[in-house]
Structure 1
Amino acid sequence: MTDLLPVFAGLGFGLSLIVAIGAQNAFVLRQGLLRRHILPVVAVCALSDAVLIALGISGLGLVFERLPVLMVIARIAGAAFLIVYGFLAARRALRPAALGEEGPRSSAGLAATISTALALTWLNPHVYLDTVVLLGSVANSHGDSRWLFGLGAMAGSVIWFTALGFGARLLQPIFARPGAWRVLDGIIALVMLAIAASLLLGL
């Protein structure tokens, strides 16, 4: 049982980092409510987290610490993308539609949806700070059990994104009204723009 302690520690630590209102979670939630491409989105987010966690445990965090210009580039690129996505969400909030009546303006294809999920993950410097730098450092503090810790953190990502994406359908009765979409997209817009502002202010 003691051999599993690092796994549970990683699971708890990973969930503590990921269970928060952010760009990635907001996107997964919205796709879950729309019931569009949920499995690919969940898979992209969970696999991306797994790769980033593995890179952090392997020592990539040291590269970011020694080459801060990489983080500056990531901040600028991430902020630019989040600003665009935030304004798109704001536009949706101004013209809400009930669930099932979204029309062409929100019926993104699989490729576009996956591209957005990848961008929200890999262009977000906060993801690197959380998974590569912070989680990687904590995992390496467990010595020989660092990969067990990382495995637990990866499992946390899978559990969270699966629950968020597929559990969102429980909220569908609420989002049968356009007003609910107005609130959600308004919140998403504020979150995206707030994160973008924090990235630029951190330069």
Structure 2
Amino acid sequence: MICRILLLVVLPSCVSGSFVVNVTQTCYQAEENHNITLEWTFTTKPDRSTKTLNILCELFISDKLSVLYHVHEGVEVSESQDEEFSGRVQSDKDALREGRIRLQLSRLRTDDSGLYLCEVNTDYGFSVGRCQLNVTAVFHSSNLQTVSPQPESRESQHGVGLSLVLPLLALVIICALLCLVGIKKRKQTLTRVSEIKPITT
């Protein structure tokens, strides 16, 4: 397995005579949850049957190969596809007849980042094409905007509450002070009255 990985990564694009597998782009950049189309081209011979066509496209990360797309003797073999790509890969069968391998990978994940190898083996040649895909994570600013106003609204609610409570509190304090002043004056009046000596005849 390790030998095969090294062979696929190290081998140049052209391996067998004039038979070549090329990529339309050497590096792809995309965001997660988006779709992307990876494309390779290979040398075709009109007089040859598609039954001699064998294709294996894989994702290479570290020491692991995951099967993205497999064609054996001209027939697509979906059973060979790794679970991580299940239901996410669409191939263009018309393009295949023209010597183009077009694979749409949908609902991209950051784990889809890596080196994509596509080996094509026919009775008239063998070659490998490779490209890099980088999938970046997306941070949704809309989520942040919906969350951030909540503390502000609470603060504004507290502000409204305080603007109502403070005048009421001030009014209560004023009333209490007036009551105290009134009680004090009444006591003073009572003491003056008690100090007045009655006139005796």
Larger RCO (CA under 8 A, 6+ residues apart):
1
- Structure with bigger strand share is 2
Fold conserved (TM > 0.5)? no
Length-normalised TM-score, structure 1:
0.25
| Larger relative helix fraction | 1
TM-score (ref. length: structure 2): 0.25
Q: Which has the larger radius of gyration?
A: 2
